[in-house]
A and B are shown apart, each in its own frame.
Chain A
């Protein structure tokens, strides 16, 4: 049973990667990142249940991941707003001021 959960998490993660790599919209990339966080959380909870059921460390870690993800989303979205204000658009492909 555990492998099915892990496989589900892997698929979700792969979809997240696909989103991160292909989305041109910055908000789209952030959403895909959330998918990846969730995949990781599923993994953590799964391992907690099947391998170390006598304590809840995995779930605690999942909580911390959720907190960090929330913080990341807040800051990310603030940056997106800033981008929108300065470039009149949030197309990641056009934002390449760090190019050589």
Chain B
């Protein structure tokens, strides 16, 4: 079917962008560029979410990762790297060992697909993704939801305490 093929096409396109930008993220010497490629990579992940019919998640991805976390990273880079004077350089270490480990991990993961049995169910996701998520969050998952908000609060206070300039 045509629709399926279009979505496949999009999948490969997004995958390609994602993998390439991810490789840039971990290998470029200029960390500012790394941050920009991270934004691209996370954008493509949002695209993947749309392909997986998780529209709400895609929106959250764009808002939080692209909008907040990445900007935070850029702020941190600017605060720590004397941006104006010096070229922002970074290098990689132990590349051989790391490549071996990553390859080993990748091979075992992909190889283990053959050993795993998944019962694929071919039925549609619930209609109106956002509404359903909201309902579930406020009913079945209300306790984790509250707990996670406390975690966020703790993280916020922790960050403020850690980053204060004067000693407490």
Contacts and interface: CB of A to CB of B under 8 A. Distances in A.
Interface of A: 1-8, 10-19, 21-25, 27-28, 30-32, 34-35, 38, 41-42, 45-46, 48-57, 59-60, 62-64, 66-75, 77-82, 84-85, 90, 93
Interface residues of B, number: 80
B99 A70 contact: no
Interface of B: 8, 11, 15, 18-19, 22-23, 25-26, 31, 34-35, 38, 41-42, 45, 48-49, 52-54, 56-57, 60-61, 64-65, 68-69, 72-73, 75-77, 79-80, 90-95, 97-99, 101-103, 105-106, 109-110, 113, 118-121, 123-126, 129, 132-133, 136-137, 141, 144, 148, 151-152, 154-156, 158-160, 162-163, 165
Nearest to A92: B93
A45 B57 CA distance: 9
Contacts, number: 220
Contacts of A72: 155
Contacts of B15: 4, 8
